[in-house]
Amino acid sequence: MAVAMPAALLLLLLLVAPPAAGSSEAAVRPNPKIVNWVAGNARASTPDSFGSLIFDLSVGTPRQTLSFVMDITEQLVWAQCREHGFAQSQAPTFRPGSSFAPIGCNDTACQSLAQPPDDNCTHPDDHCKYAWDFQRRGSGAMSGYLATETFSFGAKSVPGMVFGCSDNVMVRALGGVSGFAGFSRAPLSLVSQLHVSKFSYFIDHNNGDDSSFLSLGDAGAAQAMGNNSTPLLPATTRQDSYLYYVNLTGIQVDGELLADIQAGTFAVQEDGSGGVFLSTTIPYTFLQEAAYKVLKQELASRIRSQGVAPMNATADDLCFLKENFRSVKVPRLALVFDGADAAMELNVKNYFSIYDEWRTCLTILPSPNGAAAVLGSLLQTGRTMTYDIHGDGGQLTFEPVAAGGSAPAHAGGPDPAPAHAHAGAPAPAHASLVITATLLAWVLLLQQF
Ligand SMILES: *[C@@H]1O[C@H](CO)[C@@H](O)[C@H](O)[C@H]1NC(C)=O
Ligand SMILES: *[C@@H]1O[C@H](CO)[C@@H](O)[C@H](O)[C@H]1NC(C)=O
Ligand SMILES: *[C@@H]1O[C@H](CO)[C@@H](O)[C@H](O)[C@H]1NC(C)=O
Ligand SMILES: *[C@@H]1O[C@H](CO)[C@@H](O)[C@H](O)[C@H]1NC(C)=O
Ligand SMILES: *[C@@H]1O[C@H](CO)[C@@H](O)[C@H](O)[C@H]1NC(C)=O
């Protein structure tokens, strides 16, 4: 089924691809520590509702306000530097000013980027170039070079931040954003460069008033008491040391643990396969196939018992006629994590989405054989997520959300059915997502392992 994919979504998905593997040797310059900073103008990506977070950051001298997509799986902070190729003009383009200084290719920061487009560092003053090529998949390319630049956090200016100037963005649309900001454990990410040990975000469900936020430090952080915390697992040697891994131990449907999911299903295997990490740029959630099958069957049978059958029982996904789904009392879903006082109760919007004119689908899919599971951005919307980073471990604290209860006003679009019209059947997220596109992103992501 050919459904036009929003270009911005495509970009978000594709930019998940650049490999993050490599030495995690810190190569960054000393910077004054940012204690508390709340990002300006934090907002959930619109209008496609794929659950990413966009925020403003002040860059350069004189200061320029640029918008970035927060990406917890990526390392580099970059913005489009000037128009070229298909780069879109509706996003502010960074103009290098007086504090902008390109980094030489022999710089340690350049080496920690770990993805040199060429190894032609013949003169130390040569620019440190990077290039990501999606051409083989017909979706464009991006290249640029590293520089140091001054970032401003409120009144505080931080010089010497390593910053990617992407002067050749051959991607059809940036969807109004200037670039991406890596929040991973990698040495060049925003949090690593600032030596921030805690960050929090809240991605709104995207229905009307947008109360999204992003903060560094303690401001807005979910406190562990009363909220639920689980360890952030250090990567094993065969995993990607830049990602945030958690110990998912089970899934509950309507409060009952799915006993058919074997212990260890989500655990990382000796060969590095498996495991569970979080993403803020992959909208859907992918679970190990064995677990997914059990979950899908349980949800399908509980919904079928209400007289509503899945649209295509043989397909991998789980979709219902939108019309019929409205009357369903959607089974409650909760994720169980190691150490958390209580399970993470999900809102229906976190796992069912209006897919197109006809269908409402589960936004959880099976991950390819042997791949890690990904807790996607839609799953995380509507609650504060706080990352405490200690060394290669730390702690994830997640705020409870009112499970299935309050149904925010609908953002518009072709489905005006008020969510509260049916007790127990809150409106699913309205996300025009294309499953194949998500799978494509997933395949790209796999290339890094
Ligand atoms: C490296 O430089 C040589 C000589 O200028 C050039 O032929 C070669 O294509 C360059 N390699 C890459 C990967 O750009
Ligand atoms: C790069 O730096 C290393 C170590 O400082 C040095 O040995 C090497 O000669 C430098 N290479 C260039 C091209 O300047
Ligand atoms: C959870 O954290 C949030 C965000 O800081 C806070 O407002 C809330 O009071 C906490 N909940 C409980 C029950 O402590
Ligand atoms: C049902 O799903 C299967 C497997 O994905 C697919 O081959 C088939 O075409 C689908 N049938 C319909 C009616 O969509
Ligand atoms: C994950 O949690 C389970 C259950 O609490 C525990 O047995 C296991 O050791 C944990 N795994 C890791 C890697 O911490």
Same domain, 232 and 212: no
CB atoms within 10 A of CB 213: 20
Which pLDDT score, from 0 to 100, does residue 348 have? 94
Which pLDDT score, from 0 to 100, does residue 410 have? 28
Count of structural domains within the chain: 2
The answer as to whether 77 is a domain residue is yes
Same domain, 79 and 211: yes
Same domain, 167 and 254: no
What residues in the chain have per-residue pLDDT under 70?
1-35, 46-50, 83-90, 114-120, 133-140, 171-175, 206-207, 402-449
135-174 pLDDT tens trace? 554 556 778 899 999 999 988 999 999 999 988 877 655 5
Same domain, 328 and 420: yes
Kindly give the distance from the C-alpha atom of residue 124 to the centroid of ligand 2, in angstroms, as a whole number. Answer: 7
Which pLDDT score, from 0 to 100, does residue 139 have? 57
Q: Which atom of ligand 5 is nearest to the CA of 339?
A: 5
Token pair in block for residue 96: 């290098």
Tell me how far the alpha carbon of residue 233 is from its chain's centroid: 18
Model confidence, pTM: 0.83
Which candidate, 67, 70, 78, places its Cα nearest to that of 129? Answer: 78
Task: Please compute, for residue 436, the number of CA atoms within 13 A of its CA located in the half-sphere on the CB side.
Answer: 6
Which pLDDT score, from 0 to 100, does residue 313 have? 75
Which pLDDT score, from 0 to 100, does residue 2 have? 29
Same domain, 52 and 165: yes
245-to-113, 278, 374, 430 alpha-carbon distances in Å: 21, 7, 9, 28
Which pLDDT score, from 0 to 100, does residue 121 have? 79
- In DSSP terms, 144 is beta-bridged to 130
Residue minimizing CA distance to atom 9 of ligand 4: 315
Last residue of a domain, one of 217, 249, 265: 217
Kindly give the distance from the C-alpha atom of residue 130 to the centroid of ligand 3, in angstroms, as a whole number. Answer: 41
Cβ < 6 A, ligand 1 pocket: 118, 120
The C-alpha atoms of residue 215 and residue 201 are separated, in whole angstroms, by 6
The answer as to whether 27 is a domain residue is no
Residue minimizing CA distance to atom 6 of ligand 4: 315
Q: What is the CATH number of the domain that holds 237?
A: 2.40.70.10
The C-alpha atoms of residue 364 and residue 333 are separated, in whole angstroms, by 11
Kindly give the distance from the C-alpha atom of residue 340 to the centroid of ligand 3, in angstroms, as a whole number. Answer: 15
Residue minimizing CA distance to atom 5 of ligand 1: 120
Cβ < 6 A, ligand 3 pocket: 221-223, 225-227, 384, 399
> What range defines the domain where residue 374 resides?
228-403+416-446
Kindly give the distance from the C-alpha atom of residue 398 to the centroid of ligand 3, in angstroms, as a whole number. Answer: 9
229-250 pLDDT tens trace? 999 999 999 999 999 999 999 9
Is residue 213 within 8 A of residue 42, CB to CB? The reply is yes
Q: Which atom of ligand 2 is nearest to the CA of 106?
A: 1
Kindly give the distance from the C-alpha atom of residue 249 to the centroid of ligand 5, in angstroms, as a whole number. Answer: 8
Residue minimizing CA distance to atom 2 of ligand 5: 338
Residue minimizing CA distance to atom 3 of ligand 1: 120
The C-alpha atoms of residue 146 and residue 194 are separated, in whole angstroms, by 17
The answer as to whether 84 is a domain residue is yes
Kindly give the distance from the C-alpha atom of residue 71 to the centroid of ligand 3, in angstroms, as a whole number. Answer: 24
Same domain, 266 and 320: yes
The answer as to whether 8 is a domain residue is no
Which pLDDT score, from 0 to 100, does residue 262 have? 95
Which pLDDT score, from 0 to 100, does residue 112 have? 79
